[in-house]
Amino acid sequence: MFLINFEDCPDMHRRFGGNAGNKMDISYDNARWILKFDKSTKGMKRIEISYTTSALSEYVGSHVYEILGVPVHETKLGIKNNKLVVACKNFNDYDNGIELVEYREIRNAHDEELTALIDSSLTASSELGHGSNLNEIIYGLQLNPDLKRIPNASDFFWNMVVIDGLIKNSDRNTGDWGILTNYKDIYKMAPVFDNGGSFANKLSDRQMETILNDPVRFEQSNLHVTTGFYYDSELLEFRKLITLDIPELQEAIVRLTPVIQDRMTEIDDFIDGIPNEENGLRITSDIQKEFMKKGLHARFDHIIRPEYMVIQHLRNESDYVHMEKPLNKIKM
C-alpha cells in the first residue's frame, strides 16, 4: 500500500490558520501530524477541477527539498474521510517547550538600526498583502535579534528561495517560514514547511497537456513564475529575483546548482514512482508527472544553471561585464 489510512487516527483538536485548505491535527505512529486537505476551487476563475491538487504538491515539493539535502518537514500521502490528504509531521517539541515562531511574528522584534532601515524602505510587508518585502528580510537576516542568534539563518533562507523557484512555489509568505525556539536558549531554523503552492495545483490534466504541447504557453507557465517577494516595491518573477546582486543569494546558487544537477534523475524517479491511483482514489496522472518533471528541468536549465554560469564566469574573469541575458527558448 502506498497511501496510509488515517481514518482511525484520533483528532487532537488543535486548530490552524491559513487559507490553503482544511487542516487537522492527529496522532499517528506515536507522533503528531498535521493532515492537509485539498482546497475547493469554488469561486476561482478558469479552473476546471473541483479541488486543487495541493496535497500532492506539498508531498512532491517537500520531497524535492529532502532529496536536495535541505531540512524539510516529513510528509506522507494518505486517506482521510475518503479523500487524498498529505500528512506533515509536526516538528514542534511540546514536551520541551520548543515551538514554531513564524517570521511574521518575529519581524517586528526591536532593534534600533533595523527599525530605521525598515522605516526607510519603500514598502513595509504589512502593506503588501500576501507578499513579503525582500529588502526587509535582508535587513532582518543581518539585524533581527532572533535571527542573529542562528548562524545559518541566511544560508537557510536563500536555499529556500532558490529551491522554491525550482519547484514553482509562488506562495512563500511571511507565515510560511520561521524558527524553532523555547524563548530561552534554543533558537534554530524550522524545517521548510508549507510547500503546497508548488507546481501547478489548479490545472486539470487537459490544461497541462495543452501547455505541454504549446512551447509558448509552456514557457509562460513554467518560466514566468512569480515568487511572492517584493523588491523595491516590485513583485518579482523568479527569473529576475535570481539575478539580483545579493552575495548571499549568489552563494546559494553556487551551492545548490551542482547538487540539483546531480540529483535531478533521483527527483524524476521519485515522481515516476508515485502511483496514479490506489483503490480507485486518484493520486496523480502520467500527464501531471510529465508536467512536473518538464517544468523542473526547464526552470533549472533556463533560469538557475545560466545564472550559475554567469556567477562563475564573473568570479573567474574580473573584467567580465554582466550584460542582460536573453531568455533561452525551450526546445520541446
- As a whole number, the mean pLDDT across the chain is 89
Distance CA 208, CA 311 (A): 33
Task: Write out the three cell numbers for 327.
Answer: 531568455
Distance CA 312, CA 253 (A): 10
Strand order in the sheet with 75-80: 4-5, 75-80, 83-89, 31-37, 23-28
Contact 61, 199 (CB under 8 A): yes
**pLDDT greater at residue 57 or residue 48:** 57
Q: Is the pLDDT of residue 58 over 80?
A: yes
CB atoms within 10 A of CB 12: 13
pLDDT in tens, 269-293: 999 999 999 999 999 999 999 999 9
pLDDT in tens, 215-224: 999 999 999 9
pLDDT attached to residue 328? 47
pLDDT attached to residue 107? 87
Average pLDDT over residues 243-253: 97
For CA atoms 225, 34, 74, 184, the dihedral sign is positive
Q: What size, in residues, is the chain?
A: 332
% of the chain residues with pLDDT over 90? 72
Task: Write out the three cell numbers for 236.
Answer: 518579482
pLDDT attached to residue 331? 43
pLDDT attached to residue 330? 43
Average pLDDT over residues 229-242: 92
Calculate the alpha carbon distances from 318 to 246, 249, 305, 321, 331 in Å: 17, 19, 20, 8, 33
| 146: helix, strand or coil | coil
**pLDDT greater at residue 123 or residue 323:** 123
Task: Write out the three cell numbers for 69.
Answer: 539535502
Calculate the alpha carbon distances from 30 to 47, 59, 93, 193, 228 in Å: 39, 21, 13, 21, 36
Q: Is the pLDDT of residue 320 over 50?
A: no
pLDDT attached to residue 327? 46
pLDDT in tens, 24-54: 999 999 999 999 999 877 766 777 787 789 9
Confidence of residue 303 (pLDDT cuts 50, 70, 90): very high
pLDDT in tens, 148-192: 999 999 999 999 999 999 999 988 989 999 999 998 999 999 999
pLDDT attached to residue 257? 98
Confidence of residue 76 (pLDDT cuts 50, 70, 90): very high
**pLDDT greater at residue 51 or residue 309:** 309
Q: Is the pLDDT of residue 142 over 50?
A: yes
Distance CA 60, CA 22 (A): 19
φ, ψ at 241 (rounded to 5°): -55, -40
For CA atoms 68, 239, 331, 314, the dihedral sign is negative
First and final C-alpha spacing in the chain: 35
**pLDDT greater at residue 108 or residue 225:** 225
Helices (H), 27-77: 54-67
